[in-house]
Chains A and B, each alone.
Chain A
Amino acid sequence: MTIGIDAFIFLSALLFAIGFGGVLLRKNTLVIYMCLELMLVASTLAFVAFSSFNGTMDGNVFVFFILTVAAAEVAVGLAIIVALFRRRQTVQVDELDALKN
């Protein structure tokens, strides 16, 4: 394969930027959460690329931990969103302004 590591790193940074823009742009808490997951996956792509091009396994093993943390984070975050919806009847971030003023 003639593709260098820089292409993979740029792709991972691009995915991270797309997720970042989505977090700023979107109003729905669930979609914001999906964009956060996108950013996590982009970071795992960078880890795997570095690990593969350096010939070590440490990056690949670290991706295991990132996947575990992401799974736990999604479970807790979605539980918080459900609890929020039960109390406020909305998941739009611009309506969740209880801390304003």
Chain B
Amino acid sequence: MPDLFFYLFSVFTVVCAFGVVLNRNTVNAAICLLLCLFGVAALFTLLDAYLLAVLLVLVYAGAVVALFLFIVMLLDTQGGHNRPFKSLAIFASAAGFALLVSGAWMLVTRGEWPAHTASAAVASPTGSVLKSYAELLFTTYLLPVQIMGFLLLIAMLGVIVLCKKFEGLEDVK
């Protein structure tokens, strides 16, 4: 049964990813991205990473895609921009896609992978427990957590500076 779910969700995810790339309408592309993220979250649950699945849906679907939709509607660039793709761009993207896929296919078929005995459910008994995340985050990865917090602060300040119009700057000086 999990195998069936894997094939189902992987096909769904790939189709939605193609929808993001090939859809002419920006809003439809954002919705396809949302569906694709739901598919990836379902794959996360197949890998016993339940917390990450919930976080992916919350952060990406709740924040990022909503922000994308908001910006699309704010900018309103839909009208008259449905020009056809350039043939050079089509060739470049098809070549890049084919190269990456063939490289991954070589890696998968010729590489030596661990045997299937290390199944996900057996190998990570604490995979879904919040405590194991917290233990790593507050011991081994404490410094990266602090840096991430600082990065978020800097990003927030940067966005404020980018979006603010500095008209009365001379008065401040």
* A-B pairs under 8 A by CB, number: 241
Chain A residues contacting B13 (CB-CB under 8 Å) are 11, 15
Partner of B113, one of A2, A5, A28, A92: A5
Chain A residues contacting B159 (CB-CB under 8 Å) are 75-76, 79
Are A79 and B43 interface neighbours, CB within 8 A?
no
Partner of B3, one of A1, A34, A52, A90: A1
Are B37 and A41 interface neighbours, CB within 8 A?
yes
Binary contact readout B122-139 vs A (1 if CB under 8 angstroms, 0 otherwise): 111011000011001100
Give the A interface residue count (CB, 8 A).
72
Partner of B26, one of A10, A21, A28: A28
Which A31-58 residues sit within 8 Å CB-CB of chain B?
A: 31, 33-35, 37-38, 41, 44-45, 48-49, 51-58
Are A72 and B47 interface neighbours, CB within 8 A?
no
CA of A13 to CA of B164, assembled, Å: 39
B interface list, Cβ under 8 A from A: 2-3, 6, 10, 13-14, 17-18, 20-21, 26, 29-30, 33, 36-37, 40, 43-44, 46-49, 51-52, 55-56, 59-60, 63-64, 67-68, 71-72, 74-75, 77, 81, 83, 85, 89-90, 92-94, 96-97, 100-101, 103-105, 107-108, 111, 113-114, 116, 118-124, 126-127, 132-133, 136-137, 140-141, 144, 148, 151-152, 154-156, 158-159, 162-163
